[in-house]
Amino acid sequence: MRKILVTGGAGFIGSAVVRHIIEDTKDSVVVVDKLTYAGNLDSLSDVADNERYAFEQVDICNRSTLDEVFAKHQPDFVMHLAAESHVDRSIDGPSAFIETNIIGTYTLLEAARHYWMALDTVRKQAFRFHHISTDEVYGDLHGTDDLFTETTPYAPSSPYSASKASSDHLVRAWLRTYGFPTIVTNCSNNYGPYHFPEKLIPLMILNALEGKPLPVYGNGAQIRDWLFVEDHAKALYKVVTEGVIGETYNIGGHNERKNIEVVHTICQLLEELAPSKPAGVAKYEDLITYVTDRPGHDMRYAIDAGKIERELGWKPQETFESGMRKTVSWYLANQVWWQRVLDGSYARERIGLK
């Protein structure tokens, strides 16, 4: 049985990774998470009592506490997901993005490298540091046929994507300079259960359920490649356990959709699945409202995920249609989870830490 240290495990993707490891494998997990506004222990309640799960509330910028966590838990692998992740927040206030995504990644790399150097030869050879990143580091695509590959040059547009690009460079430099065993993955937009309601898909679902406007940036023609979060979690576990050290793998869902198409899909699913409509709403689509575009908004992202499919045999199991149906159904069935996010109680009642 291996132990995997997962940073950012209380976040959207991190919690899906932790649930996958605890529920579908024999490995154990220690979550390292600062519990910012985006960290939610409610998202880990299904696994919190499992003896293979442990939680440490730690800021990845804090080197001495990280050293203690490595010494205490002796992980075999690190999966690094902790980050500030919301583009709009990075435009309003970039400093936390520089702090966590760049300084935090550097601090974690150093803590992990010193821990790794002291391991015995067998454990040292088996160790991996897996850095989880985004396709936004590549900038945007303007042609309709181009795809991001693992060798596409970096051209980040926002403070968020620039800070993630910086962290990717640090991770690769630690491999090249110190021989520290790293792997990088760059993934397209995720969606699914437990997604914080500031992001496009949960925001639209919850606004629609409350009869509020559905704000679409610009003309809604921006294209994103959508991946169901549980497919991403499975890909990440495959990479950390079977991926080749020093490699980069792009992960995507072959699901390019214009933002406005995503919003129409949500409205149609709610027409079908929601038990009732808010007062005064004839059709959910009537709530769509176009708002001023985000500055520096990238036009199109699309991933060529051929390498991970060929070399590691991973393929997404959900289509956009099946994943969106699961997502809308989950939000309809899990009102307690999102009500506790909207009213702030998820953050006030952070109890039951292991």
Which residues here bind ligand NAD, judged by CB under 6 A? 7-8, 10-14, 33-36, 38-39, 59-61, 81-85, 100, 104, 132-134, 164, 187, 189-190, 196
Tell me, yes or no, if 311 is annotated catalytic.
no
Least Å distance, CB 160 to ligand NAD, is 8
CB 20 within 8 A of CB 234: yes
Tell me, yes or no, if 136 is annotated catalytic.
yes
Which of 320, 64, 327, 317 is CA-nearest to residue 204?
327
CA distance 252 to 235: 10
312 Cβ contact list (under 8 Å, min separation 6): 235, 238, 239, 242, 243, 249
The length of the chain in residues reads 354
Which of 42, 136, 225, 231 does the annotation list as catalytic? 136
Least Å distance, CB 266 to ligand NAD, is 16
Tell me, yes or no, if 191 is annotated catalytic.
no
Least Å distance, CB 49 to ligand NAD, is 20
Which of 238, 13, 33, 32 is CA-nearest to residue 115?
32
Q: Cβ closer to ligand NAD: 200 or 287?
A: 200
Least Å distance, CB 195 to ligand NAD, is 8
Q: Cβ closer to ligand NAD: 156 or 181?
A: 156
Q: Cβ closer to ligand NAD: 240 or 287?
A: 240
Least Å distance, CB 102 to ligand NAD, is 11
Least Å distance, CB 271 to ligand NAD, is 26
Q: Cβ closer to ligand NAD: 39 or 159?
A: 39
Please identify which residue in the block is written with the tokens 């709403």: 281
Q: Cβ closer to ligand NAD: 86 or 113?
A: 86
- Nearest-CB residue to ligand NAD? 11
CA distance 210 to 245: 47
Going from the C-alpha of 134 to that of each of 127, 161, 189, 191, 335, the distances in angstroms are: 23, 8, 8, 14, 29
**DSSP E strands, the chain:** 3-7, 28-33, 53-57, 77-80, 128-134, 182-187, 189-191, 214-217, 223-228, 248-251, 256-258, 288-291
CB atoms within 10 A of CB 93: 10
Which of 160, 191, 194, 249 does the annotation list as catalytic? 160
Q: Cβ closer to ligand NAD: 284 or 331?
A: 331
Which of 42, 135, 140, 256 does the annotation list as catalytic? 135
Going from the C-alpha of 281 to that of each of 271, 287, 306, the distances in angstroms are: 11, 8, 44
Q: Which residues are designated catalytic?
A: 135-136, 160
